[in-house]
Structure 1
Amino acid sequence: MSRTDTRVGRVEARPTPGRSRPYWTTRRRDQLTGYLFIAPQLLGSVVFVILPLLLVVWYSLHEWNVLADTFDFVGTDNYTALADDPNLGPVLRATGLFSVGLVVFNLGLALLLAVLLNQKLRGTIVFRTLFFSPVVVSLVAWTIVWGFLLEDNGGLNGLLDTIGVDGPNWLRGEGTAMVSVIVVQVFKNVGLNMVLFLAALQGVPAELYEAAEVDGASRMRQFWRITVPLISPTILLTSIITVVGSLQVFAQIAVLTQGGPGTSTTVLVYYLYQQAFQFHHFGYGATLSIVLFAIVLVLTLLQWQMRKRWVFHES
């Protein structure tokens, strides 16, 4: 049965009486296809992100001693223990110092290198490859090599000795250990941010610089008034990546300083590892991991909200 719709000039099919509409319509088949495409990612997020987060919260409410095979519910005792932990303050200060130093030097050096390599000069491709190559090197191998270089009788002090300078014990000095770890991490990952900045710089229209030169704007004024606003979305991206990465550093501390001297380089992730896997306080270690998660979440949300004030194209 069908009828003619004279208002729009088309024929609309009507379902046959007594015959049910098929379940697998085109729309439902398309929806099923979409769900199947996102199923692997969704399953991975549930198994490797959401479920571990829920388990960490559950473990933080217990005291788990694997040596004695006990798993006792202690409620919020692990959270109240945070206030009584004398090491938590120095650990948070070391974490903040490392994060600030890494973010400032990494982003600053990456932007400087990107600006220099964006010039139309010979040999820039070689330098781009040179600065980016540490990114693809194994983190542990990179850290071990730097550990040999920064030893008291290592390569760096040997180089300084040739010019008559007595170098310090870089990884065992109170004032040099944190600086050494920051420098190692900056040189490891500065190439990634450099490439991101370089891609952003190459997307800035050259006509804007030409118009600014006609108006008599200096190179520095062009940089702050044209370059920085136009690459601000990339600055936001790199800052979020670098901040989150700085709060998750572990291998460099474990290989280079083991948190010493004292607690001067004991960042939160390494302190979490010590509590959980060296002292077997798994409940307290889970509590520290929640503190770390909260810090990362707050800083990320703060950066995301502040984007409205300085990121170009944002209202």
Structure 2
Amino acid sequence: MSVLTRDEKGRAGRRSAPAGAPPARRGWWTSRRRDQLAGLLFIAPQMVGSVLFVLIPLGLVFWYSLHEWNVLADTFEFVGAENYRSMADDPNLPSVLRVTALFSIGLVAFNLSLALLLAVLLNQRLRGTIVFRTLFFSPVVVSLVAWTIVWGFLLQDNGGVNGALGAVGVDGPNWLRGDGTALLSVVVVQVVKNVGLNMVLFLAALQGVPAELYEAARVEGASAWTRFRRITMPMISPTILLTSIITVVGSLQVFAQIAVLTQGGPGTSTTVLVYYLYQRAFQFHQFGYGATLSVLLFLIVLVLTVVQWRMRRRWVFHEQ
């Protein structure tokens, strides 16, 4: 018994239709519409989450920035651009932005360079590399607050770090209370916490570089530095772009480390923009001005991300 396919059945049905009969109408519920509905259902959870937890909060933050909201007095008054004028005249904001820039630059530079160095070293076929990979990645899965509290004890004047330095005859400073060491200490704590994530990303990219390229370079007499600069860096440049964007955005959103370790001190030497926003909104109850600072933070993150994305064609190998 012969089995006809769907197209053959359709052609046979058209041939058997009487002459002069109107063409059969296709139903509304076609396979194309079924596929479209299936695709919409697959992306629906992500779209609903983006609308509820990203787009609507962004709109509300901008709306709140146009108001003065006093929770204690239960008032919500429209003030227009008054909060933005206050932000432009804020004497503390230049110092906060300077600290934020120093913190972000230090964190991004140390994190990416150390992660790339560790990835190159652990990409070698040596004994014990799996143990070291696990060791460097394990801080990523540790609770952020627990990690920060432990480092707070270690960095005290009589903590573990100064105890280790004292064992070799070095008198260590009070790391979290010195103007020159507090910001550096927070950067180091954050780098050690998250360097494993970028290390794993770099390691995956390094393992995807074809070995034939290195073999050809060795035959030509290229040195290890030349192979790294001419082969490794261009081939992993897309991953460098990804990690740089992630690290820059993350550096501008650091809050728990500052709140637990230094509370923005000493003075304002570690008061980054996110912590300053928290102080104005939740300590001084200036929610309208806090929302204005949130808009400023959003614009900074947006501009930096767009700049990095637009510059990718100049140095990302696959985009050239």
Q: Distance in 1 between matches of 2:23 and 2:229?
A: 73
**Aligned AA (1:271):** Y
Match of 1:242 among 214, 234, 247: 247
Match of 2:83 among 64, 78, 87: 78
Q: Distance in 2 between matches of 1:35 and 1:300?
A: 28
Q: Which moved more, 1:247-256 or 1:37-46?
A: 37-46
| Structure 1: unaligned runs, 5 residues or longer | 1-9
Structure-2 residue corresponding to 1:24: 29
Q: Which moved more, 1:104-113 or 1:29-38?
A: 29-38
Q: Does 1:99 align with 2:91?
A: no
Match of 1:69 among 53, 65, 74: 74
Quick one: structure 1 residues 124 and 23, their matched pair in 2 at CA, closer, same or farther if it must change by over 3 Å? Answer: same
**Aligned AA (2:167):** T
Quick one: structure 1 residues 216 and 18, their matched pair in 2 at CA, closer, same or farther if it must change by over 3 Å? Answer: closer
Deviation at 1:25, TM superposition (A): 2.0
Structure-2 residue corresponding to 1:33: 38
Quick one: structure 1 residues 16 and 60, their matched pair in 2 at CA, closer, same or farther if it must change by over 3 Å? Answer: farther
Q: Does 1:222 align with 2:227?
A: yes
Could you say what secondary structure the match of 1:313 adopts?
helix
Q: Distance in 1 between matches of 2:169 and 2:220?
A: 52
Could you say what secondary structure the match of 1:264 adopts?
coil
**Aligned AA (1:89):** P
Q: TM-score, normalised by structure 1?
A: 0.94
Structure-1 residue corresponding to 2:299: 294
Deviation at 1:20, TM superposition (A): 6.2
Quick one: structure 1 residues 138 and 16, their matched pair in 2 at CA, closer, same or farther if it must change by over 3 Å? Answer: farther
Structure-1 residue corresponding to 2:134: 129
Q: Distance in 2 between matches of 1:228 and 1:182?
A: 25
Deviation at 1:21, TM superposition (A): 4.7
Structure-1 residue corresponding to 2:7: none
Structure-1 residue corresponding to 2:266: 261
Runs of 4 or more, structure 1, over 4 Å off, are: 14-21
Q: Distance in 2 between matches of 1:205 and 1:266?
A: 45
Q: Distance in 2 between matches of 1:58 and 1:12?
A: 62
Deviation at 1:205, TM superposition (A): 1.1
* Identity of matched residues, %: 79
Deviation at 1:16, TM superposition (A): 6.7
Deviation at 1:11, TM superposition (A): 5.8
Q: Distance in 1 between matches of 2:287 and 2:21?
A: 66
Q: Distance in 1 between matches of 2:48 and 2:92?
A: 38
Q: TM-score, normalised by structure 2?
A: 0.93
**Aligned AA (1:273):** Y
Structure-1 residue corresponding to 2:176: 171
Could you say what secondary structure the match of 2:319 adopts?
coil
Match of 1:192 among 193, 197, 204: 197
Q: Distance in 1 between matches of 2:151 and 2:21?
A: 78
Q: Distance in 1 between matches of 2:142 and 2:148?
A: 10
Match of 1:203 among 165, 187, 208: 208
Q: Which moved more, 1:250-259 or 1:151-160?
A: 151-160
Deviation at 1:30, TM superposition (A): 1.9
Show CA shifts across 1:29-55 (max 9, x none): 221222122111111110000000000
Q: Distance in 2 between matches of 1:184 and 1:190?
A: 10
Structure-1 residue corresponding to 2:8: none
Structure-2 residue corresponding to 1:4: none
Quick one: structure 1 residues 301 and 12, their matched pair in 2 at CA, closer, same or farther if it must change by over 3 Å? Answer: farther
Q: Distance in 2 between matches of 1:240 and 1:94?
A: 20
Structure-1 residue corresponding to 2:63: 58
Structure-2 residue corresponding to 1:5: none
| Structure 2: unaligned runs, 5 residues or longer | 1-10
Q: Distance in 2 between matches of 1:235 and 1:274?
A: 34
Deviation at 1:22, TM superposition (A): 2.9
Q: Distance in 2 between matches of 1:206 and 1:29?
A: 45
Could you say what secondary structure the match of 1:71 adopts?
strand
Q: Does 1:139 align with 2:144?
A: yes
Q: Distance in 2 between matches of 1:16 and 1:124?
A: 76
Q: Distance in 2 between matches of 1:240 and 1:18?
A: 57
Q: How does 1:148-167 map to 2 (within 5 A)?
A: 148-167=153-172
Superposition RMSD in Å: 1.6
**Aligned AA (2:212):** E
Aligned residues: 306
